[in-house]
Amino acid sequence: MKKSKLIYVVLCISAMLVSCDDFLSTMPDNRAELNTEAKVASILVSAYPNKAPIIMMEYGTDNVMDNGALYASDTRKEEVYQWKDITTDSSDDPRYMWQAHYSAIAAANQALQAIDDLGNPASLAPHRAEALICRAYAHFVLANVFCLPYNPETADKDMGLPYAEKPETQVDVKYERGTMAGLYQKINDDIEAALPGIRDEVYTVPKYHFNKKAAYAFAARFNLLYVKTDKSNYQKVIDYATQVLGSTPENAVRRMSAYLPLGAADISNAYVQVSEVANLLIIPAYSLAGRMISGTGARYNHNMEIVSYETVWASGPWGSSGSGGFLISQLYGTNQSVRFPKLDEFWEATDKTGNTGYAHVVHVPFTADEALLCRAEAYTFQEKYAEAAADLNIWQEAHCKKTVGANTLATLTRDIINNFWNSRTYTPIPLNPDNAGKDRSIKKTLHPQGFTVAEGEQENFIQCVLHYRRIENLHDGQRWVDIKRYGIEVEHNRDGLSSDILKSDDLRRALQLPSDVINAGLPANPR
């Protein structure tokens, strides 16, 4: 197989009615020649991936544990949980993840080429910006899944991924994995080129596209991961997050109290609404994540032990813990599978009589709340602790009740953060299996990848940010990104077997490429 087809080998395998050569000479959406501005705008709908690596990432984290062989297992969840190479083949697996994201990249590249062919008119500048940032985003997601975290000390050696910048109509393009340094530089270049051109007014529903706030939220998150030895990335995080949050960030975040009167189905619908001010970008995806998080294959899941000692019901700086504590939880399920219903399944019926169709989730890749926590982390690395505490307090107030009984939620301060985290013990690795989870802690030993966290106040603030991010990103896989970049070690218990421990330098932190892509000649991740 020619080198130019390496990226798209998965697509060719799945395209039952066309050959590889036919696919590569056909535009991604197979509609028409892109010879008008309207057609260019139309193809960019295809530049957003219709798959999401939620299961591939979430079930490798410390948010899940083994409930025991008494409960039904699922091969996909088991392989991810045990950090094995994933052999299943459906919408939530590596082959389809690779396909969906490179297909989105192909659509973006086709739009860019068409814009050039049309003479690059000013009227298409917003669509050029959208294509660039979509291309950057799809590569960024793939990097979070299939690569090690960006480490400035090793980035010029760590394997990256091919960065596709041209439409797949040529036969002489040679794709190589390259390095993380090269990959992140290209992502950065596309983001920086895109930001000035984003225009919300060209969209009928801006939150279904990379509108201005979503684009800046992506830029903030990317720069948080794009670690620089001179720490210059942190100021960019602050600047970009501030573009999202404005002068009154307390009005930009999600008010969890709005969900208190609602049941699970209503919460699931409300969480992904365009009208929710905190939602910046909304993308539907073919996925079984909703039913898996809800309990299908309940052996491996976010269970009551994790909830009680590590996530939503664990004691936090807000004070009392548990279902009656300050933090608004709204949890549903069983002791083996506990969920907050932000990713419940939406069913698309193709045959109501035969009950056939497609499972979807609607996910929100970027929110104002997460941008706020990105900024708090960047402030922490600049040692601007008062500013970091102010952002953390905004998040806390939006996620907590104002009063519980006769007690009032305290304003989060530097002293409260320091006193609370100084009083916590680190989660031991390995855990004592006879301790019924009581060894578990929300405080983790950190092994930062390519940067340092100073002992004392700086670490206390980082621990606070990471815990708030863990709750904010529960179920959606982003905890995996934090585990990788902070080198957090994870122990996964296994019923009847010794626990498996993911060390800070474990190469399994980069998930394996799809077997078809490896067989086509792209180097596999080392094991």
Could you tell me where the DSSP H helices lie in 272-335? Answer: 289-294, 304-309
Low-confidence residues of the chain: pLDDT under 70: 1-32, 169-173
Q: Residue 33's pLDDT is what?
A: 76
Largest CA distance in the chain: 72
- Return the ∠ at Cα 267 (arms to 265 and 271), rounded to 5°: 125
Average pLDDT, the chain: 92
Q: Residue 30's pLDDT is what?
A: 43
pTM, to two decimals: 0.94
Q: List CB contacts of 461: < 8 A, sequence separation 6 or more.
A: 376, 380, 385, 388, 389, 392, 417
| Residue 347: burial class (beta carbons within 10 Å; 0-12, 13-18, 19+) | exposed
Contact of 23 with 12, CB cutoff 8 Å: yes
Locus of tokens 């930001």: 195
Q: Residue 11's pLDDT is what?
A: 42
Determine which helix (DSSP H) or strand (DSSP E) holds 3, and give its type and residue range: none
Q: Residue 171's pLDDT is what?
A: 47
- What is the Cα Rg of the chain in Å? 23
Residue 40's CB is within 10 A of a number of other CB atoms, namely 24
List the domain boundaries for the chain.
3-66+75-511
Q: Residue 319's pLDDT is what?
A: 83
Contact of 320 with 401, CB cutoff 8 Å: no
Copy the structure tokens of residue 402.
């104002």
Contact of 473 with 401, CB cutoff 8 Å: no
Q: Residue 17's pLDDT is what?
A: 28
Amino acid (1-letter code) at residue 139: H
Q: How many helices (H) and strands (E) does the chain have?
A: 19, 11
Q: What percent of the chain has pLDDT over 70?
A: 93
Q: Reduced to 3 states, what is the DSSP secondary structure of residue 404?
A: strand
- As assigned by CATH, the class of the 3-66+75-511 domain is mainly alpha
Q: Reduced to 3 states, what is the DSSP secondary structure of residue 323?
A: coil
User: Closest Cα partner for 48 from 365, 374, 269, 371?
Assistant: 365
